[in-house]
């Protein structure tokens, strides 16, 4: 799954594509909405026994997490979380730059 940043009639949008390049999510207005969609899709696709009650990760408050890392010695190997849904999403394919160049 890759995150795409694109330009549409409504402005900048984000959406997810699969390995073949097909769109698998709706157009989402913000990076945060794209992350939430990704989290939900990963939870729905998981076929094992789910131990988490909530989709929302308790470490998602970056300020709290950074404060804990600064003020306490942590033995955690991955303070951001182990699951793919715990890691902040980054844009894999930015089509906005290319489209803006076409207009100029």
pLDDT digits (tens, 9 = 90+) for 29-86: 999 999 989 988 888 877 777 666 665 555 556 666 667 667 666 556 655 555 556 6
6 with 12: CB under 8 angstroms?
yes
Into how many domains does the chain fold?
A: 1
**For the whole model, what pTM was predicted?**
0.66
Taking the C-alpha atoms of residue 99 and residue 104, their distance in angstroms, rounded to an integer, is 9
Taking the C-alpha atoms of residue 102 and residue 89, their distance in angstroms, rounded to an integer, is 27
Which residue range forms the structural domain that includes residue 20? 2-103
- Give the contacts of 101 (CB within 8 A, at least 6 positions apart): none
Q: Which two tokens stand for residue 45?
A: 């696709």
């Amino acid at each position: 799954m890759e995150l795409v940043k694109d330009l549409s009639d409504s402005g900048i949008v984000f959406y997810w594509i699969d390995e073949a390049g097909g769109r698998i999510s709706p157009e989402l207005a913000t990076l945060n909405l794209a992350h939430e969609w990704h989290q939900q899709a990963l939870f729905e696709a998981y076929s094992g026994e789910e131990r988490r009650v909530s989709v929302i990760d308790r470490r998602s408050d970056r300020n709290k997490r950074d404060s804990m890392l600064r003020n306490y010695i942590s033995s955690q190997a991955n303070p951001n979380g182990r699951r793919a849904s715990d890691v902040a999403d980054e844009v894999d394919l930015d089509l906005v730059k290319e489209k803006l160049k076409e207009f100029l």
